[in-house]
Amino acid sequence: MEKKRLLYLVSSDPRVSPFDINMAYDAGFDAVIPYASIDVGMVPGLVQDIMFSRGAKGARFSSLFVSGSSVAVAEGMLRAARTTLFPPFLLGLMVDPKGGYTTAAALLARVAALCRSKGMGELGRLRILVAAGTGGVGKAAAALAARDGAAVTLTSRSRDSAEAAAREIASLFGATVEPRAAAGETDLASLAAKADVVLATGAAGAQLLSRATILSLKGPKVLADVNAVPPHGLEGVRPQDHGAEIASGLFVLGAMVVGELKFRIESSLLKDLLSAESPPVIDLQAARRRGLELEGS
């Protein structure tokens, strides 16, 4: 009898998100086992129990998915899992802290395609503002864009948080971004004026720029919002906007358009966990590659 395909979903948060649980069942896992409030030190024991209970072949039917709202902790858990595994007891591994990696991969793939189609050139040659970039989506998007060669500025309402995020991005992803404090809309607007691309990556329901401010910006510029919860991050950018020109040279992407690609990226990566010949390690760069493939870039 073929073994059940199990996904162990670990998170440092007190509650594991139903988003990833639902997506994993829909991708075809037979069971998804959530572990909340896990710390990095607990990962080796957990991984060993998964490995040894199912034998060398059975381990192939078991995967570990690392979620949680802290990017640094999730990366620490991935490292701990990788160093615990040894042949032939291998498990598929995937890390996507609070959906941040697959969302950032979708955001950048869609933004890059739009910039190219509007004659703005490759993302890696542009100035990118990651507004409210101290969450998982913002840090991952900033890291990917900076690694592509873009000049990236990341903001927070607090200078300390912006600097801490920039240090984390450097240490986890080897990417350099410029941290800036933007306490309110006026600061953000002057940074947005100097950027070619504005990525609004603030918390759900937090408006970052008003419509009047957005319309005062000069194009060519791409503005993208990931916040699907009203009020949106960029006022007047509708969730379903896919490249609409809201003023001369100002092209916008809405949260549902990013979300549609994020969904497909996560779903196809989960299917890789189920079907890959050898158990994969799916990290931020893997999400990025899949985003580009699915976007046809």
Ligand X SMILES: NC(=O)c1ccc[n+]([C@@H]2O[C@H](COP(=O)([O-])OP(=O)(O)OC[C@H]3O[C@@H](n4cnc5c(N)ncnc54)[C@H](OP(=O)(O)O)[C@@H]3O)[C@@H](O)[C@H]2O)c1
The number of residues in the chain equals 297
Among positions 157, 211, 264, 289, the unique one binding ligand X when judged by CB under 6 A: 157
Does residue 202 bind ligand X (CB under 6 A)? yes
Does residue 291 bind ligand X (CB under 6 A)? no
Does residue 279 bind ligand X (CB under 6 A)? no
Residue number, 11 or 227, with CB nearest to ligand X: 227
Does residue 228 bind ligand X (CB under 6 A)? yes
> CB of 21: closest distance to ligand X in angstroms?
15
Residue number, 9 or 50, with CB nearest to ligand X: 9
Q: What helix, strand, coil percent values describe the chain, rounded to 5? A: 50, 20, 30
> CB of 257: closest distance to ligand X in angstroms?
8
In sequence order, what are the beta bridge partners of 153?
129, 178
Among positions 227, 266, 279, 290, the unique one binding ligand X when judged by CB under 6 A: 227
The per-residue DSSP string of 210-278 comes to -HHHHHTS-SSEEEEE---SSSPSBTT--TT-EEEEEETTEEEE-HHHHHHHHHHHHHHHHHHHHH-SS
Q: How far apart are CA 254 and CA 80, in angstroms?
A: 36
> CB of 165: closest distance to ligand X in angstroms?
7
Q: How large is the angle between the packed helices 136-147 and 71-84, nearest 10 degrees? A: 70
Q: What is the spatial order of strands in the sheet that 250-253 belongs to?
A: 178-181, 151-156, 127-131, 197-200, 221-225, 250-253, 242-247
Site for ligand X in 116-145 (CB under 6 A): 132, 134-138
Among positions 226, 234, 237, 286, the unique one binding ligand X when judged by CB under 6 A: 226
3-class DSSP assignment, residue 178:
strand
Does residue 206 bind ligand X (CB under 6 A)? yes
Among positions 103, 153, 177, 223, the unique one binding ligand X when judged by CB under 6 A: 103
Does residue 172 bind ligand X (CB under 6 A)? no
Bond preceding residue 88 cis, omega within 30 of 0: yes
Residues 14, 19, 21, CA angle at the centre, nearest 5°?
80
Rg over alpha carbons for the chain, rounded to the nearest Å, is: 20
Does residue 201 bind ligand X (CB under 6 A)? yes
Kindly indicate which of the ranges 70-78, 172-180, 203-211, 280-288 contains the residues binding ligand X, using the contact rule CB under 6 A.
203-211
Residue number, 50 or 66, with CB nearest to ligand X: 66
Name the site residues for ligand X (rule: CB under 6 A): 98-100, 103, 132, 134-138, 156-158, 161, 201-204, 206, 208, 226-229, 255, 258-259, 262
